[in-house]
Amino acid sequence: MISFYKSNLPLLFTGESGTGKTFTAKMVHNLSHRKHKPFVAINCGAIPESIAESELFGSVNGAFTGATTREGLFETANGGTIFLDEVGELSLNLQTKLLKFLDEGIFTRVGSTKEIKSDVRIICATNVNLQEKVKRGEFREDLYFRISVVPLYIKPLRERKHEIPFLVKDYLSKFNKTLTGKALNLILQNQWKGNIRQLFSCLDRACVLSENSVISEIEIADCLF
């Protein structure tokens, strides 16, 4: 994994929802030569299609009703990293623009013909089978090959429990809290079907409910779901 930290090659993270794909993308960014530049994360499935293009690539005055001249996230991230979560949700039109950017490093704002260059590394993620979407004509095959230069499967948390103590310690440090040994053992025994997202939700709840700096196994037990 260390070998591609310094690379500009596109990465594609696959795996179940909540496995920590955003966390991993941030880690790659922070260990790269781009670490002092922006890391911009975008959930492609959460942006309404009507404004998605302007959000990503910007717009100019009059491009559409209410449009103003503004930069998009690809300009904001110049020099850094763009993380496209749920990339399979992009429309075919946006897939075409993303492919052009990957091939040429340029894009145009909505309503403009002026080409803009941006030095951005692309990291994508999905929890669906993009190859199946390609077969159904829902995802461009040429784009799939471009974003999957380095494909990485993120295992579910239940298959990498050795990482849990580190994840817990790092997350709780933001709240100046720790766990007792028995509380950590209880966490390690859980299957975490919701992966890291479920684990962090459990820790959030424990931090709210606990009045102490050290969270007990009883308090953790009350937060398991």
Quickly tell me which residue has 């990339």 as its tokens: 87
Residue 79 has a pLDDT of: 96
Tokens of 5: 């930290």
In angstroms, the CA 95 to CA 87 distance is 9
Per-residue pLDDT band for 87 (boundaries 50, 70, 90) equals: very high
Please list, in sequence order, all residues whose beta carbon lies within 8 angstroms of the beta carbon of residue 36, skipping any fewer than 6 positions away: none
Distance CA 120, CA 112 (A): 21
Question: What's the pLDDT tens digit per position in 153-168?
Answer: 999 999 999 999 999 9
Residue matched to tokens 């784009």: 143
Q: How far apart are CA 202 and CA 207, in angstroms?
A: 9
Query: Are the C-beta atoms of residues 154 and 189 closer than 8 Å to each other?
Result: no
What is this structure's pTM? 0.85
Fold of 157-223: Helicase, Ruva Protein; domain 3 (1.10.8)
Residue 123 buriedness (CB in 10 A; 0-12 / 13-18 / 19+): buried
pLDDT value for 65: 65
The rounded mean pLDDT for the chain is 91
Residue that is written with structure tokens 């300009």 in the block: 75
Laid out side by side, the sheet with 121-126 consists of 39-43, 81-85, 121-126, 11-14, 150-153
What is the mean predicted confidence (pLDDT) over 126-139?
95
Quick: pLDDT tens for 2-48: 566 778 899 999 999 999 999 899 999 999 999 999 999 999 999 98
What percentage of the chain exceeds 90 in pLDDT?
78
SS3 224: coil
At 66 the three-state DSSP class reads coil
CB atoms within 10 A of CB 4: 14
Find out if CATH 3.40.50.300 is the number for domain 2-153. yes
pLDDT at 112 over 60: yes
The tens digit of pLDDT for each residue in 58-82 reads 888 866 767 778 888 999 999 999 9
pLDDT digits (tens, 9 = 90+) for 181-213: 999 999 999 999 999 999 999 999 999 989 899
Give CA–CA dist 165/148, Å, rounded: 31
Q: How many CB atoms lie within 10 A of CB 44?
A: 20
Judge whether residue 178 has pLDDT over 60.
Answer: yes
- pLDDT over 70 at 94, yes or no: yes
CA dist., res. 88 & res. 144, Å (int) = 9
Domain ranges in the chain are 2-153, 157-223
Q: How far apart are CA 87 and CA 139, in angstroms?
A: 10
